[in-house]
Structure 1
Amino acid sequence: MQGKKNYTEKLFLSFQLSDRVREDNLYRRLRETLDLSFLYKDTKELYGRTGNPSIDPVVFFKLLITGYLENITSDRKLVEHCSMRMDVLYFLGYDLDEELPWHSTISRTRQLYPASLFEKLFNKVFVLCVDSGMVSGHTQAVDSAPIKANASMESVVPKMPATPMDDHLKKVSEENGKTTKKHGGNVSPAHISAPAHELKRVEKHHQNLRESPVRLVGASHKKARLLSNKTHYNPHDPDARISVKPGKARKLNYHCSMAVDTAEGVISHIQADFADGRDSQYLTDISLKVQGRLRKNELIMTDILADAGYSNGANYHFLEQRKLTGWIPVFGKYKPEIEGFPYNKEKDEYSCPMDRPLPFKGFSTNRNGSVLKNYWAAPKDCKACPMKPQCAPKTKSKKIARTIYDEQYLRAYARQHSEKGKRMKNLRQSTVEPVFGSLTQFYGLRKIGVLGKAGAQKVMLMAAIAFNLKKYLKKGGKKPSIGIFEAIMDAFQGCLTICRHIRPRPVLQMAP
């Protein structure tokens, strides 16, 4: 006989969400594990003493955690999604007949709370992972990736020139006037702060693009907008920067830097930076913050893994000063030896193929601020040399410039080509890169839905919190089993304790 289900809505007189949520449910376990009561004290000073009560800070952060666990970045969709999930309602502390907070309240509260509060929650979750034995601390893998900002390249406008400067700035001024009329003239202009040599470098690059004979079908550099962070910005989100990833189009992005512990893949640090900076300039700050967080949890960092983007002489020197071993490959242009010019470390000089010395002459600084050591031969030696047309065709004598961190580069180069260096490279690739993929695909970090660098920092912290929480619950939140030696010592201590509480029996004496 065919069955037919007739539905009639009933009024339940007795109903509890806890009876409908399974014991192994993610949000039930999260409710029993995560204690957010400290938020009441930390957010008390942010509210006044009069007016209508705002959203509960615990409920606010639980809503955000749910959004990143469910990969929902829209506040409106998040509220709609939570209202249809009994397990999420139980996690939030709401009943079936209670209305969730309005979606705009979530957005306003996110702007109200400082980034330090989000970081405090991240530290609390990180402590849970440390206490469960998921963090070793000694080896950290560092990497970065651009995250798309909530701004469009179509809204980019030129910066106002601070002072008229060459043809490039005249072109920018003309374009700025047209763009200001296009946007209604209500945009507060930003001024160019880049030095003259950087602007000339940008103009030269754009000129090469215009004159390049190699172009895609249908593309024209003359008609394309040649944009640079030195001369353009987005008034909707001034903190967003133009950046490009190999093989992809240029976009307005934020720079996400992250450190991951190699034991279980727990995120130990994450931060938002401007997308126009190099990876190498953020390594110092990342290392100090990771070391500080691990030290508070009585852990010591000894090794740091990163790709060639973090290769920098100052970084190698900094890591050695902090007694850290940096497994960072040197960049491709570095040459450990100059062919035909052997170096004598004791005399601190080079020798040319004609066995003429190139002694150290002094230091110099290039346009980027890097300090170089200069070596050059005597003009009289090069003047009579038959190899001068090939060796020094445009100068009076042969000159060699080396970085002041050449010894640090050589040590990093040796580590890179060692067997352990190859293993460390594989360890970095299998640790931090999958975490970035998970954050962008499953934890709401594909795009920054808020404005400003501070807002991007909050988004990245919440994505990392959700990732660490799920990894913590997946491991069961239990301490790992102790080793054999520790088990023997515990058993021995237990036996000693038992023996201390056993009373000795009286000795019976035989009658004579």
Structure 2
Amino acid sequence: MMGQTAAQDQLFYAFNLTDHVPRDHLLRGIDRFLDLCELRQHLAPFYSHTGRPSIDPELMVRMLVVGYCMGIRSERRLCEEVHLNLAYRWFCRLGLEGRVPDHSTFSKNRHGRFRQSDALRFVFESVLKRCMAEGLVRGEGFAIDASVIKADANRARGVPGSEVIDWRQSSTCSRAVREYLDALEENNPLAEDSPADQPEPPTPAKSISLTDPAARWTAATGGPAFFAYSTNYLIDLSAGIIVDVEATPAHRTQEVDSTRTMIDRVEQRMHLKPHRLVGDTAYGAAPMLAWMVDDKGIEPHVPVWDKTVRHDDTLSVIEFTWHEDRNEYNCPEGKPLRSEWRHFKNPRSRITKADTVIYRASQMDCAGCPRKDKCCPNTPCRKIARSIHEKAREVARSISKTEQYQQSRRDRKKVEMLFAHLKRILKLDRLRLRGLSGAQDEFLMAATAQNLRRMAKWLMPVEEVSVTKGA
């Protein structure tokens, strides 16, 4: 006999929402380590003491955590999922009858109180402090890297960077455009400064987006160019915890410069200073190495950015001997290369715009040298450009010969794994918010979600660890 379910209304229900959330659910582990008790106090100065009560900020943050942890990219869909999913309701403290806020509430608070109070960074640092309290952050070694994320900007709506644009037109002056213009005015040198004090203007971008002008026109290998931002991760190598994150336009120089910002911020706010910093060749430029070695006292486990090696069978710089006491090089034939061949009454620094000092051999020595064809076949004498930061480069070269350096190269893969997780599991391969501040908000929440998932995976008992794919 075929059974049939009879619809029958009940007068009373005995329902416990906690009992209906599986013990191995990812959100159970995250809820154990997410503490937002100080968030209300942090946001209190940005709320009025009178008027109608607002949406609970802790509720909005918990919903955002659900969205980023579960790869729900749309806030409209996030509200629908929280309304229907019992586990999401339990995590957000809504119960069965709690009302889910409208999706527009997130935009209103993001552009208002959250951004003014830097609330999302406060949440990120609160989670980081919990990671430190749980022993997942050792602070001995950090790794740095950047990954390109597509901006919410149509590649067809771009104009050449050299073209003059009237950004103040009402049709184009969106929030992202206003933010871009404010940043330009802030970084613009004052008119009363002398020309010598003014920095050189940056090279104009090849293309500028009319939708999100702060995004950078870039291209990945084997693919079409697009507008993008870069998420810069500074991670602790012990357990792969993200200790800081910074959003920049997708430009190599700005990515490298963000390293200083993050190292200084972590040292100031978290009292963490690494003994070694691991990175790829992009971070091996001479000024960055000098900053690590001389200013911060950090061992650079970074390949040196070196263009002195020649590949045309002529003598490279490595075949010349440097003498610190005499401030000169000696060629393989024993002849000197000097920055000055005569003394001046007023000493000269001899430092070029590229922060190098040029050492030259005597033209007479080179003219009769038997190795001239192997040394300087196309010039009258041999020249060597020595960086003013060469000592820091030598420190990096000596470190690269150690076994610890080889281990650091293997440890650096943890950053790449976090980027793969960010794009494949959290679905953040394209931004939803516009402007540099919008990119920063998204990257902060994504890093917060990754740290929470890492704690839930590493620290929950075996029977309670989530079996969710990618957790």
TM-score (norm 1): 0.74
Letter of the structure 2 residue corresponding to residue 37 of structure 1: C
Change (3 A) 1:463 1:376: same
Partner Cα distance (2:8, 2:351) in 1 = 82
Letter of the structure 2 residue corresponding to residue 270 of structure 1: V
Residue of structure 1 in register with 2:261 after alignment = 285
Shift in Å, 1:374: 1.2
Query: Is residue 318 from structure 1 mapped to residue 294 from structure 2 by the alignment?
Result: no
Mapping for residues 18-29 of structure 1, pairs under 5 Å: 18-29=18-29
Query: For the Cα contact (< 8 Å) 1:363–1:372, is it kept in 2?
Result: no
| Comparing 57-66 and 36-45, the one that deviates more | 36-45
Query: For the Cα contact (< 8 Å) 1:255–1:272, is it kept in 2?
Result: yes
Residue of structure 2 in register with 1:122 after alignment = 124
Question: 3-state DSSP class of the match of 2:393?
Answer: helix
Q: Which runs of 5 or more residues in structure 2 are unaligned?
A: 189-197, 311-315, 341-347, 462-471
Shift in Å, 1:24: 4.7
Structure whose CA Rg is larger:
1
Change (3 A) 1:294 1:89: same
Question: 3-state DSSP class of the match of 1:326?
Answer: strand
Question: 3-state DSSP class of the match of 1:79?
Answer: helix
1:445 to 403, 417, 428: 428
Partner Cα distance (1:377, 1:390) in 2 = 15
TM-score (norm 2): 0.80
Query: Is residue 405 from structure 1 mapped to residue 389 from structure 2 by the alignment?
Result: yes
User: In the comparison of the two structures, how many residue pairs are matched?
Assistant: 425
Question: 3-state DSSP class of the match of 2:386?
Answer: strand
Mapping for residues 198-217 of structure 1, pairs under 5 Å: none
Question: 3-state DSSP class of the match of 2:282?
Answer: helix
Shift in Å, 1:343: 2.8
Query: Is residue 457 from structure 1 mapped to residue 440 from structure 2 by the alignment?
Result: yes
Residue of structure 2 in register with 1:333 after alignment = 307
2:451 to 464, 468, 471: 468
Query: Is residue 301 from structure 1 mapped to residue 285 from structure 2 by the alignment?
Result: no
Residue of structure 2 in register with 1:254 after alignment = 229
Change (3 A) 1:104 1:273: same
Partner Cα distance (1:340, 1:437) in 2 = 42
Residue of structure 2 in register with 1:239 after alignment = 214
CA deviations 1:432-463 (Å, max 9, x no partner) are: 11111111222242222101111111111111
Partner Cα distance (2:384, 2:63) in 1 = 60
Question: 3-state DSSP class of the match of 2:290?
Answer: helix
Residue of structure 1 in register with 2:191 after alignment = none
Q: Could you tell me the percent identity over the aligned residues? A: 27
Letter of the structure 2 residue corresponding to residue 83 of structure 1: H
Shift in Å, 1:13: 4.0
Query: For the Cα contact (< 8 Å) 1:136–1:261, is it kept in 2?
Result: yes
Question: 3-state DSSP class of the match of 2:455?
Answer: helix
Question: 3-state DSSP class of the match of 1:141?
Answer: strand
Q: Which runs of 5 or more residues in structure 1 are unaligned?
A: 162-171, 200-228, 479-512
Mapping for residues 83-482 of structure 1, pairs under 5 Å: 83-112=83-112, 113-114=114-115, 116-159=118-161, 172=163, 186-187=171-172, 229-278=204-253, 279-295=255-271, 300-321=273-294, 322-331=296-305, 333-335=307-309, 338=317, 341-361=320-340, 363-364=349-350, 369-383=353-367, 391-392=375-376, 395-429=379-413, 431-476=414-459
Change (3 A) 1:11 1:441: farther
Partner Cα distance (1:256, 1:17) in 2 = 38
Shift in Å, 1:18: 2.7
Question: 3-state DSSP class of the match of 1:153?
Answer: coil
CA deviations 1:315-361 (Å, max 9, x no partner) are: 22222232211100113524496265333333221234554321123
CA deviations 1:185-206 (Å, max 9, x no partner) are: 9446989x9999976xxxxxxx
